[in-house]
Amino acid sequence: MIQRRSGLAASIFLSVVTLMAATLPAIGGSLTPEQARGQQLYLTGQSLGGSPIQAYVGATSVPLPGRVLPCVNCHGANGKGRPEGGVIPSNITWPQLTKGYGVVSASGRRYPPYDETALARAITQGVDSAGTALDNAMPRFTMAAEDVADLTAYLKVIDSLLDPGLAPDSIRLGILVPASRDPNALGQVIVALFRAYFDDINAAGGVYNRQLVLIEQSVEAESGILEGGKALVERQVFALLGAMSAGQGRLFGELMERMQVPSIGPLTAFSDDNDSLNRYSFYLLAGTGVQQRALLDYAVKHVPRSDPRAVILHPQQADSVAIADLLQAQAALHGWTQVQTLGYPAAQLDATALVLQLQHAGIETLFFLGQGLDLQQLAAAAGQQGWTPTLFLSGTQAAQGLFDMPLGFAGRVFAVYPTLPTDLTPSGQQEFQRFHRRHGLSRHYLRTQISAYASAHLLLKGLKTAGRNLSREKLLAALEGLYQYQTGLTPKLTFGPNQHLGANGAYIVAVNPKTGTFNGVGEWVVPKRLR
C-alpha cells in the first residue's frame, strides 16, 4: 500500500515500465501450502491456482495484468518497501500493519490497525483500515478470495523469513562465468580463486558460523548472460560475486536491480555514472566510460588551447559509439565546441587515409578508443606524415601498441588506467602472493585475479559488518557505510547510498616512447559529473 505520492503521473509511468520484470525467485524458509501460494502471488502477481488477477492503476483505473505489478516491486522482498521516484510504499509486514496503537502513514496520518478483512479491502478496493482511499499509485486488484487469503497468510510471515540463499549454517553466493573446460580460461581461473578464498574462510569457522558456498552458473555466449543471471538467482543465491557479464554489464546490473540481488565487484565495464547508482551493484574500479571522462578532464587542464580542434576516433561498434558520445558530452561541459566523433570499421582501419584526413582538418588533439593493433598502424602512419597530435587513450585497451610509437610523440601521449601497481600495498601484495602460492592457482589473468580477490575481501567485510542477523538490506547498508576502505590491492574504496563505484576516478600517466616507460607516477582524476 502506498500512502502518498509526488509527481504521480510520472511515478506511475516509471512503475509500469520498470515493473515489466522477470519473475523473482522464491524467498527461502519453511512455508505452509497457503503461505507458499501467497509468496508466489506476492513475487509474480499471478495465482498458482490459475485465477485471473487484474490490477487497476491511477485515478483513471488503467487496467493491467497482475503480473505487470507484483507486490514485490514496490514493497520489496521483505515487505518493508523503499522510496522510489517520489512514491513511498508502506511497510506491509504483519507486525507493522497490526500494531495495537494503530498505523502511522508516511504523511503522519494515524489510522486503526489492520486485520484480515481490512487488508482484503485495501488490496481489492484501495482503502485503508479507516476506510480512506489509498494513494492512486497503489494498484487495486481483482482476485479470488482464496488468493487474497493466501497473500495475507504470506504477509503474516514475510518479515520472519531468511533472504534467499541464507540458511542458519550457510550463505550461498553465486558467480556467472563463460562456459569452458580449460582450467586456464578466464572464468575457470576466477572460479578457482573464489573457491580457494571460501575454503580459507570456511576453515576458520566461516562468517558467524555460516559456511560460504559458491554456486557457479556458466553461459555459452554473451547473448545468454541475462538468462544465465536469472537462472543463477533462481538457484537461491544470497548475492553474486565477481559476475562476468561482458558487454551486457549495464543490462545485467539492471536485472540485479529488478531482482533485488546484491552484486559485489562485477567484473565488467560500465559506461556512465548512472550504472554506479544501481542500489544492488557495487563496483570496485571505474569502467571505460568513467575512465575516458577522467581522461578528458585531464586533457582540459593540459592541452595548451582552451578550445582545441579534437576528434574522438573509435571503432564502429555499439560500445565504442556510446563511449564516444559520453566523451563528447564531457567535452561540452568544459566549453570545448570543436570536438567531433569519427568511426572506422572495426578491424579494418585504413590508417594512412585517416591520418591524411585528420591532418588536413587541422586536428591537434585525438582521443583514441581502438585496440593496440589499430594504434600501432595509426601511429606508424602519423609518423610517416609527420603528424603528431596530442593523443589520449586507454592504457589497458591499447596496451599492445602503447610503447610502439614514433619518437615524435614523446610528451604527447597520455594513457588512463583504473588502477596502478602503486595501489598494491606491501602487506596486500604479500597476502595475495601467499594466498596464490598456497592454493597453487593459475598464473593467467593475474590482473583480473587481483580484482576478484579484492571483491572477495569487500564481500567478507560487508558480511562481517552486517552482523549475525544477516539480510540483503543489512549487507547493502554495511557496504554503503564503507569509507576509504583499504583492500591493499586497489585504490581506497568509498561507497554511499548514491555512490556504488568504490574508486570513482582513474589515473592518467604520460607515456614515454623513447624509454618505453611512464613519466611519473600518474595523476588521480575524478571526472566532473555529466548531470
| Average pLDDT of the residues of the chain | 87
- Residue with the bigger pLDDT between 5 and 335: it is 335
What mean pLDDT comes out for the span 465-488?
A: 95
Does 2 have pLDDT greater than 60? Answer: no
Return the pLDDT at 9. 34
> What residues contact residue 91 under an 8 Å CB cut-off, 6+ apart?
75, 79, 80, 81, 97
Return the pLDDT at 156. 92
Does 4 have pLDDT greater than 60? Answer: no
Q: Which of 12-16, 275-279, 339-343 has the lowest average pLDDT?
A: 12-16
- Residue with the bigger pLDDT between 133 and 278: it is 133
Does 5 have pLDDT greater than 50? Answer: no
What is the C-alpha to C-alpha distance for residues 419 and 215, in angstroms, rounded to an integer?
29
Return the pLDDT at 171. 98
Provide φ and ψ at 351, rounded to 5°: -60, -45
- The predicted-structure confidence for 344-354, as pLDDT tens digits, reads as follows 998 788 999 99
- The predicted-structure confidence for 370-426, as pLDDT tens digits, reads as follows 998 899 999 999 999 999 999 999 998 888 778 778 888 888 999 999 999 999 999
Closest-CA residue to 415 (of 427, 400, 437): 400
- The predicted-structure confidence for 141-171, as pLDDT tens digits, reads as follows 999 999 999 999 999 998 888 888 999 999 9
Residue 495: pLDDT band by 50, 70, 90 thresholds?
Answer: very high
Taken as a whole, the chain contains a residue count of 531
Residue 355: pLDDT band by 50, 70, 90 thresholds?
Answer: very high
Does 77 have pLDDT greater than 90? Answer: no
> What letters, b where the CB count within 10 A reaches 16 and e where it falls short, cover 298-325?
bbbeebeeeebbbbbbbbebebbbbbbb
Residue 84: pLDDT band by 50, 70, 90 thresholds?
Answer: low
Q: Which of 79-88, 155-164, 479-488, 518-527 has the lowest average pLDDT?
A: 79-88
Residue 254: pLDDT band by 50, 70, 90 thresholds?
Answer: confident
Does 108 have pLDDT greater than 90? Answer: no
Return the pLDDT at 10. 34
In three-state form (DSSP H/G/I as H, E/B as E, the rest C), the secondary structure along 337-401 is CCEEEEEECCCCCCHHHHHHHHHHCCCCEEEECCCHHHHHHHHHHHHHHCCCCEEEEECCCCHHH
Return the pLDDT at 517. 80
What is the C-alpha to C-alpha distance for residues 80 and 177, in angstroms, rounded to an integer?
33
Does 25 have pLDDT greater than 60? Answer: no
> What letters, b where the CB count within 10 A reaches 16 and e where it falls short, cover 133-172?
ebbbbbbbbebeeebbebbbbbbbbbeebebbbbeeebbb
Angle at which helix 426-439 crosses helix 186-203, to 10 degrees, equals 100
- The predicted-structure confidence for 30-69, as pLDDT tens digits, reads as follows 689 999 899 889 988 999 888 999 999 888 889 999 988 8
DSSP H helices, 281-350, are: 288-302, 318-333
Return the pLDDT at 16. 33
- Residue with the bigger pLDDT between 135 and 108: it is 135
What is the C-alpha to C-alpha distance for residues 78 and 161, in angstroms, rounded to an integer?
8
Return the pLDDT at 6. 36
What's the whole-model pTM score? Answer: 0.74
* β pairing state of 62-65 and 54-57: antiparallel
